[in-house]
């Protein structure tokens, strides 16, 4: 039905909220926000993808039924940070000028996020930053994400911090408390929404392993600072573990980056109990996490999701900007030393007390209402409604 005159006028006056995102984790984490914006009477979402990722990004948009209004298609194989940033800046300006958003929303700390935020600032468009305030306090690790998120904070008008720790980081850097809202992490909204769906396993070896009740070690790795020698060591550690525990299975959905694949996959060939896969669609991956015995990862998002599902997470990094899981006892930082990876996984496999001390459900990152709080905060920024109370873990009324 055509809108009536009044409806059309109201639609015209809705605030245009452009969400710019480019990689898999950003797509997963903005999806609940886009869905919530769609239902808001005074806000209109304009999803724009940069295409920093391609297959891994499109996979998420398909799952969540999101059709971007613009796609900058910037991906190049083995792209460099400067090459990628240059393409992003060149492509973003005309999109901002054509679509005239009232605010630009970015999520996280990728190169897409930094470029989209800075380009919006240059166009004098207010920036809203989801997952604001994460800090490892080491500019070189994670690289370049720690720098990206700190730089984005400098040009942000509304900081949506997932936890109180991230809010405190921002306040310690002098950010105005009036501009910070603690929302919880939207990844928990996406997870809660998705994990309850039934899935068909697309890989028959994985389907068999799950049907046989074999214990599964889920592994994901992609961090830039682990490329090369460290990642090759991860591959060798996995080979040792596969041989040491032949009844268990290692499942590795491999990141599309050829640099990652070249480092890790050669050590894993010819092992019956190692299943390497293409990136899994989000519903299948969340089911895999649910079926996992142990999770070994250097991913940010997986560190946030696995505690919710009560899975012990060993993080192949020296530090983390997500200390809440470590404090909750479900996440342990183990670095990338080959022998240490083998020994830490072995402890969890062999010592029941150590395993059950970590295998406890904890939700320090969210309660499934982060998108609602985020959208309320955006509306409030425009004088279009009240804010919601900050997210407090474990508080049902928060
Ligand atoms: C990027 C982000 C990182 C985030 C990660 C999530 C930066 C600098 N890095 O790292 O913060 O944690 O995404 O996965 O922003 N490729 C494909 N198809 C895809 C995706 C990647 O072919 O769908 C390949 C391409 O060769 C590409 C390479 O992977 O050049 C690296 O992708 P890029 O986005 O530059 O870096 P990531 O390591 O994925
Ligand atoms: N993920 C997925 N399929 C996979 C592996 C991971 O959907 O095969 C999801 C995972 O649940 C998490 C996100 O991708 O939400 C993490 O992405 P990634 O590790 O690439 O990036 P990071 O979180 O480290 O920035």
CA of 299 to the centre of ligand 2 (A): 7
For residue range 257-280, what is the model confidence (pLDDT) as tens digits?
999 999 999 999 999 999 999 999
Per annotation, catalytic residue among 145, 189, 367, 372: 145
In terms of Cα–Cα distance, which of 322, 324, 251, 334 is closest to 289?
251
The beta-carbon contacts of 353-360 under 8 Å, at least 24 apart in sequence, are 355/294, 355/312, 357/329, 358/312, 358/313, 358/329, 358/330, 358/332, 359/310, 359/311, 359/312, 359/330, 360/310, 360/328, 360/329, 360/330
382 has a pLDDT exceeding 60? yes
In terms of Cα–Cα distance, which of 29, 27, 96 is closest to 67?
27
**Is 26 among the catalytic positions?**
no
**Is 338 among the catalytic positions?**
no
User: Ligand nearest 206 Cα, by number?
Assistant: 2
> What is the CB < 6 Å shell around ligand 1?
23-25, 52-57, 76-79, 81, 84, 110-111, 144-145, 222, 224, 256-258
Identify the pLDDT of residue 394. 86
Task: Find the mean pLDDT for residues 122-139.
Answer: 98
Query: Is residue 309 within 8 Å of 360, Cβ to Cβ?
Result: no
In terms of Cα–Cα distance, which of 348, 330, 333, 327 is closest to 298?
333
Identify the pLDDT of residue 398. 43
CA of 53 to the centre of ligand 2 (A): 12
Identify the pLDDT of residue 13. 87
For residue range 22-38, what is the model confidence (pLDDT) as tens digits?
999 999 999 999 999 99
CA-proximal residue: ligand 2, atom 6 (nearest) = 285
| Residue linked to tokens 């989801």 | 130
Delineate the domains of the chain, giving CATH numbers in brackets. 5-185+366-381 (3.40.50.2000), 200-359 (3.40.50.2000)
Distance in angstroms (rounded) separating the CA atoms of residues 265 and 254: 9
**Is 145 among the catalytic positions?**
yes
12 has a pLDDT exceeding 70? no
Task: Find the mean pLDDT for residues 177-183.
Answer: 98
Identify the pLDDT of residue 361. 87
2 has a pLDDT exceeding 70? no
Distance in angstroms (rounded) separating the CA atoms of residues 233 and 267: 9
Identify the pLDDT of residue 1. 47
Identify the pLDDT of residue 397. 47
Identify the pLDDT of residue 7. 54
Mean pLDDT of the chain: 96
Token pair for residue 391?
């997210």
pTM above 0.95, yes or no: yes
396 has a pLDDT exceeding 80? no
Identify the pLDDT of residue 3. 52
328 has a pLDDT exceeding 70? yes
Identify the pLDDT of residue 245. 98
The percentage of residues in the chain with a pLDDT greater than 90, rounded to a whole number, is 95
For residue range 42-89, what is the model confidence (pLDDT) as tens digits?
999 999 999 999 999 999 999 999 999 999 999 999 999 999 999 999
Query: Is residue 238 within 8 Å of 274, Cβ to Cβ?
Result: yes
- Residue 219 bridge partners (DSSP): 296
**Is 360 among the catalytic positions?**
no
CA of 77 to the centre of ligand 1 (A): 9
Per annotation, catalytic residue among 44, 131, 284, 367: 131
* Ligand 2 atom, smallest distance to 109 CA: 25
Identify the pLDDT of residue 312. 97
For residue range 182-238, what is the model confidence (pLDDT) as tens digits?
999 999 999 999 999 999 999 999 999 999 999 999 999 999 999 999 999 999 999
Identify the pLDDT of residue 5. 55
Identify the pLDDT of residue 170. 98
């Amino acid at each position: 039905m055509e809108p009536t005159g009044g409806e059309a006028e109201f639609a015209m006056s809705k605030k245009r909220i452009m969400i710019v995102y480019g990689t898999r984790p950003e797509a997963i984490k903005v999806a609940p926000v886009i869905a919530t914006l769609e239902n808001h009477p005074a806000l209109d979402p304009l999803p724009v993808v940069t295409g920093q990722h391609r297959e891994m990004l499109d996979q998420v948009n398909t799952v969540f039924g999101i059709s971007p209004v613009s796609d900058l298609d910037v991906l190049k194989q083995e792209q460099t940070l400067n090459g990628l940033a240059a393409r992003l800046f060149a492509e973003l300006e005309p999109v901002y000028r054509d679509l005239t958003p009232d605010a630009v929303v970015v999520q996280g700390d990728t190169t897409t996020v930094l470029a989209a935020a800075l380009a919006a600032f240059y166009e004098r468009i207010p920036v809203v930053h989801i997952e604001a305030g994460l800090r490892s306090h080491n500019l070189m690790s994670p690289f370049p994400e720690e720098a990206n998120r700190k730089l984005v904070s400098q040009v942000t008008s509304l900081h949506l911090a997932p936890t109180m720790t991230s809010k405190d980081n921002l306040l310690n850097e002098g950010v105005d408390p009036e501009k910070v809202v603690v929302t919880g992490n939207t990844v928990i909204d996406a997870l809660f929404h998705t994990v309850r769906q039934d899935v068909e396993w697309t890989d028959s070896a994985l389907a068999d392993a799950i049907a046989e009740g074999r214990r599964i070690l889920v592994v994901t790795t992609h961090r830039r600072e682990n490329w090369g020698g460290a990642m090759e060591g991860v591959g060798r550690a996995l080979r040792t573990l596969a041989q040491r525990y032949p009844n268990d299975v290692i499942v590795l959905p491999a990141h599309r980056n050829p640099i990652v694949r070249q480092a890790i996959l050669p050590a894993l060939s010819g092992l019956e109990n190692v299943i390497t896969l293409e990136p899994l669609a989000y519903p299948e991956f969340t089911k895999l996490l649910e079926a996992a015995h142990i999770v070994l990862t250097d991913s940010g998002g997986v560190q946030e999701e696995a505690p919710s599902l009560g899975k012990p997470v060993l993080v192949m990094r020296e530090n983390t900007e997500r200390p809440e899981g470590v404090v909750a006892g479900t996440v342990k930082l183990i670095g990338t030393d080959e022998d240490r990876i083998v020994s830490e996984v072995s402890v969890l496999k062999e010592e029941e007390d150590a395993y059950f001390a970590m295998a406890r459900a904890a939700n320090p990152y969210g309660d499934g209402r982060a998108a609602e709080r985020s959208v309320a905060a955006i509306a409030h920024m425009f004088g279009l409604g009240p804010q919601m109370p900050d997210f407090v873990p474990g508080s049902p009324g928060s």
